[in-house]
């Protein structure tokens, strides 16, 4: 069941941050999956003034197969947009390492770390092709954390993130562990996501639009600003 909340564009970040801050007050040791990219930036900005992360564990949703230090990497974005601004750093931050010698073992390590306690709250953005993390269209509903080939528009997105180089692959928490989160919040803003939001919420439930698979889960909240909700049937 999806709880759809449509919020005026200007108050979208603070509405999410208000609820998130309340959630952290109730559960200070929350285990969370967090995304990067442009969508969460204003929410992170608002949250960084509030703090509340000192006892949390954070799993970074995905990572590009880029050299360490590239500003387009998800670890660099999380550091820049959230972690470096917090008054106190989270107790634990887990990230996938695309430089690991054995990438399969790295993915298994991550799934094990998630399984040891589960994910209490997963924040997700989504792409204009409906991907969740780097689970591109066609991903299995029970896919594990793994190395993936990126869709062309995901590769093009790297430029928006200020990457120095490019890549055709990444690593992502799989749909299996993600959809097993106790609670999921999908963050959607801007008119450029309006068509895919309508397909995700009102089109067929299908791996061809991974975000539509959220409709098979309990406790999903979609936080859409009015621009993103403007094409909803």
Q: Which residues are catalytic?
A: 62, 129, 131, 136
In DSSP terms, which residues pair with 145 in a beta bridge?
Answer: none
Residues 6+ positions from 25 with CB-CB distance below 8 Å: 52
How many angstroms separate the CA atoms of 165 and 87, rounded? Answer: 32
How many angstroms separate the CA atoms of 178 and 184, rounded? Answer: 8
Tell me which of 12, 24, 39, 224 binds ligand PGA, using CB under 6 A: 39
179 closest CA partner among 202, 146, 145: 145
Tell me which of 9, 27, 38, 55 binds ligand PGA, using CB under 6 A: 38
Give the E-state strand segments of the chain in sequence order. Answer: 2-7, 31-34, 57-60, 62-64, 92-94, 121-124, 146-149, 169-172, 184-188, 220-225
Query: Contact between 157 and ligand PGA (CB under 6 A)?
Result: yes
Of residues 44-63, those binding ligand PGA (CB under 6 A): none
Q: How many CA atoms lie within 13 A of 64 on its CB side?
A: 30
Query: Contact between 37 and ligand PGA (CB under 6 A)?
Result: yes
Give min distance, CB of 127 to ligand PGA, in A. Answer: 3
Query: Contact between 42 and ligand PGA (CB under 6 A)?
Result: no
Of residues 187-216, those binding ligand PGA (CB under 6 A): none
Give min distance, CB of 113 to ligand PGA, in A. Answer: 22
Of residues 78-137, those binding ligand PGA (CB under 6 A): 125-127, 131
Judge residue 139's burial from the number of C-beta atoms within 10 Å of its C-beta, 0-12 exposed, 13-18 middle, 19 or more buried: buried
Nearer to ligand PGA, 19 or 191 (CB): 191
Give min distance, CB of 37 to ligand PGA, in A. Answer: 3
Give min distance, CB of 39 to ligand PGA, in A. Answer: 3
Residue count, binding to ligand PGA (CB under 6 A): 8
Nearer to ligand PGA, 121 or 124 (CB): 124
User: In the chain, how long is the greatest CA-to-CA distance?
Assistant: 47
Nearer to ligand PGA, 89 or 137 (CB): 137
Give min distance, CB of 187 to ligand PGA, in A. Answer: 8
Angle value at C-alpha 124, between 121 and 125, nearest 5 degrees: 160
Nearer to ligand PGA, 142 or 156 (CB): 156
Binding site for ligand PGA (CB under 6 A): 37-39, 125-127, 131, 157
């Amino acid at each position: 069941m999806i709880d759809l909340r449509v919020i005026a564009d200007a108050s979208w970040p603070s509405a999410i941050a208000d609820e998130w801050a309340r959630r952290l007050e109730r559960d200070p040791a929350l285990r969370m999956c967090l995304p990067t990219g442009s969508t969460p930036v204003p929410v992170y900005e608002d949250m960084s003034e509030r703090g509340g992360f000192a006892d949390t564990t954070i799993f970074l949703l995905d990572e590009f197969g880029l050299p360490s230090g590239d500003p387009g990497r998800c670890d660099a974005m999380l550091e820049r947009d959230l972690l470096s601004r917090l008054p106190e750093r989270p107790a634990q931050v887990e990230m996938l390492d695309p430089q690991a010698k054995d990438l399969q073992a790295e993915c298994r390590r991550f799934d094990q770390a998630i399984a040891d306690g589960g994910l209490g709250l997963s924040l997700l953005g989504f792409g204009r092709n409906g991907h969740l993390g780097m689970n591109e269209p066609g991903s299995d509903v029970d896919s594990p954390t793994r190395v993936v080939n990126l869709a062309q528009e995901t590769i093009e997105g790297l430029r928006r993130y200020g990457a120095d180089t490019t890549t055709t692959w990444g690593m992502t928490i799989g749909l299996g562990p993600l959809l097993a989160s106790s609670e999921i919040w999908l963050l959607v803003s801007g008119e450029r996501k309006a068509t895919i939001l309508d397909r995700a919420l009102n089109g067929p439930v299908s791996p061809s639009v991974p975000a539509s698979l959220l409709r098979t889960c309990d406790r999903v909240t979609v936080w859409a600003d009015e621009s993103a909700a403007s094409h909803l049937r």
